[in-house]
Structure 1
Amino acid sequence: MAPLSSPQKTGKKRIRLKKSLKSLIEFRGGNQVDQTQFQSTTRKLYDGPAGAVLYLASKLSLHDPLVGRIIKTRRFDVTEFRSILDIGSGAGQILGHLLRETHPDARLVACDLSHQMLKRARSRMDSQRPNYLSADLTNLPFLDESFDCVTCGWVLEYVTDPRHGLSEIYRVLQPGGSLFLLATEDKFSGMLNSRTWKCRTYNRVELEQAFEDSGLPWKEQLWFTPIHQFLKLGGIIVEATKPTEPATTSIQSS
């Protein structure tokens, strides 16, 4: 009888297979150009026909209603916030639900790299509540600690280093403020999505470390449904919290 492979060898084989699939399927542009070029490619993509069908695609893929379910059932409770920044809000997958579920007096700011996506969002939302402006995740035009909540759906995939985006989110969040973020995971379905939407994917463990490095520890990992959680599908969905200012400790002399 042939000896069984050790768990360590099996794990290494899986890692090599995953890397091989990733190199064949996943869009590699984000790793081969600098951030400025990546942004230019992204803006052209979403200004064009792909951006025009994004809202419909979010409905057909069930991303829009599933995000709405998380917010409506208060697994991520937006009712407590009074100043919310929605990053990458062009298709309205999160913004529409914020309009329905937040306090009527809550300030909503919707930003997107693509001017065309913002025009589509303004038309689709049909509301005067949000302020719309074009903005780059890695260089947000807001003062420090401007918001008590940031939502960011499928945007970090367009940043070559996630820390560059997360550090900006950290900066504009108030201490104790919350971040609700969704990102494409490096599973097979995520790799296909990467090829379609010209974005990168993230490894869950590595992304959690990037959050830690940026001062935004994960509070909770969320899933669309129990089935998504059981099958580990649906991408990376997390709530993170900016810590309150650490208490200063006095050094006592001996």
Structure 2
Amino acid sequence: MAPLSSPQKNNPKRQRLKQSIRSLIEFRGASELDQNQFQSTARKLYDGPAGAVLYLASKLSLHDPLVGRILKTRRFDVTEFRNILDIGAGAGQILGHLLRETHPEARLVACDLSHQMLKRARTRMGSPRPDYLSADLTCLPFQDESFDCVTCGWVLEYLKDPRHGLSEIYRVLQPGGSLFLMATEDRFSGMLNSATWKCRTYNRIELQQAFEETGLPWKEQHWFTPIHQFLKLGGIIVEATKPLEAVEELTADAVSTTTQS
């Protein structure tokens, strides 16, 4: 298990240098546009030619096979889940691995902001098993506690405030359910990714705090390979679990109500 991050004092000079580099490279729309405009930009990007080459790009960057290795080797074990939501299904980069690695009777729901990306995913998967639905991460059209697992790959970058999306994930997750999430980190490679895919980046410590504030503490950090971990490449890959306290509180309330009656 990779150690979880702990807050550290940042070197002021290093921080100023990083901010200067970010201002030159990173996509500025993440800070200059409001949330609706930001998401509209993302939808147009993925509906168009960039979305059409996303699957090939994920292969060339090795993200697709490396995500598959994490699931296949059960570093994040999806075999135990029966209701799985893949948020930002894109071209099916995670969904394809879920089809292969999950229980054959597990329910798979793929959602994405882009209708065109869902069409591409459906065609590429060639399977009737997943359900496909256009949805906004900040307003998921599902009942509370509908899923025991949520996967979310490189989607949170299209939210100005990650807590808006994480709160929705918390809502649709069952107590004890797991979240497997990947996000672009504010390192040089992440800044280049931001410029290419018109998204923002995240500071690892700040993102961990956002998770904690929304009730989804990190259980484990993953890395694609030991080399990625040593060089701090590959972005932020985390596993989080919705605490079981929600069930315990409901049980306590039920006992209290029964006693009073």
TM-score bracket, normalised by the shorter chain, equals over 0.9
Residue aligned with 2:245, SS: coil
* Mapping 1:153-232, distance limit 5 Å: 153-232=153-232
One-letter amino acid of the counterpart of residue 166, structure 2: L
Alpha-carbon distance between aligned partners in 1 of 2:128 and 2:32, rounded to the nearest angstrom: 40
Residue aligned with 2:45, SS: helix
What residue number does 1:152 align with?
152
Superposed displacement of residue 245, structure 1: 2.2
The worse-fitting range, judged by mean Cα deviation, of 147-156 and 86-95 is: 86-95
Alpha-carbon distance between aligned partners in 2 of 1:80 and 1:158, rounded to the nearest angstrom: 30
One-letter amino acid of the counterpart of residue 165, structure 1: G
Alpha-carbon distance between aligned partners in 1 of 2:141 and 2:30, rounded to the nearest angstrom: 23
Superposed displacement of residue 71, structure 1: 0.3
Corresponding position: 1:91 with 2:91: yes
Calculate the TM-score normalised by the size of structure 2.
0.91
Calculate the TM-score normalised by the size of structure 1.
0.93
Going from structure 1 to structure 2, the CA distance change for 1:74 and 1:11 (only over 3 Å counts) comes to: same
What residue number does 2:126 align with?
126
Q: Which runs of 5+ in 2 are unaligned?
A: 1-7, 254-261
* Deviation digits for residues 144-168 of structure 1 (CA, Å, limit 9, x no counterpart): 0000000000000001100000000
Residue aligned with 1:215, SS: coil
What residue number does 2:237 align with?
237
Over the aligned positions, Cα root-mean-square deviation in angstroms equals 1.6
Going from structure 1 to structure 2, the CA distance change for 1:10 and 1:199 (only over 3 Å counts) comes to: closer
Alpha-carbon distance between aligned partners in 2 of 1:230 and 1:186, rounded to the nearest angstrom: 16
What residue number does 2:3 align with?
none
Alpha-carbon distance between aligned partners in 1 of 2:87 and 2:114, rounded to the nearest angstrom: 11
* Deviation digits for residues 121-179 of structure 1 (CA, Å, limit 9, x no counterpart): 00000000000010000000000000000000000000110000000000000000000
| Percent identical | 84
Corresponding position: 1:37 with 2:44: no
Superposed displacement of residue 112, structure 1: 0.3
Residue aligned with 1:84, SS: strand
Alpha-carbon distance between aligned partners in 2 of 1:59 and 1:194, rounded to the nearest angstrom: 18
What residue number does 1:141 align with?
141
Residue aligned with 2:160, SS: coil
Corresponding position: 1:24 with 2:33: no
Residue aligned with 1:71, SS: helix
Alpha-carbon distance between aligned partners in 2 of 1:39 and 1:189, rounded to the nearest angstrom: 22
Q: How many residue pairs get matched?
A: 243
Residue aligned with 1:85, SS: strand
Going from structure 1 to structure 2, the CA distance change for 1:120 and 1:11 (only over 3 Å counts) comes to: same
What residue number does 2:71 align with?
71
Alpha-carbon distance between aligned partners in 2 of 1:9 and 1:191, rounded to the nearest angstrom: 22
Residue aligned with 1:133, SS: strand
Q: Which runs of 5+ in 1 are unaligned?
A: 1-7
What residue number does 1:5 align with?
none
Alpha-carbon distance between aligned partners in 2 of 1:10 and 1:162, rounded to the nearest angstrom: 22
Superposed displacement of residue 28, structure 1: 1.4
One-letter amino acid of the counterpart of residue 69, structure 2: R
Superposed displacement of residue 11, structure 1: 2.0
Alpha-carbon distance between aligned partners in 1 of 2:12 and 2:160, rounded to the nearest angstrom: 26
One-letter amino acid of the counterpart of residue 200, structure 2: R
One-letter amino acid of the counterpart of residue 164, structure 1: H
What residue number does 2:259 align with?
none
Alpha-carbon distance between aligned partners in 2 of 1:10 and 1:172, rounded to the nearest angstrom: 35
Residue aligned with 2:91, SS: coil
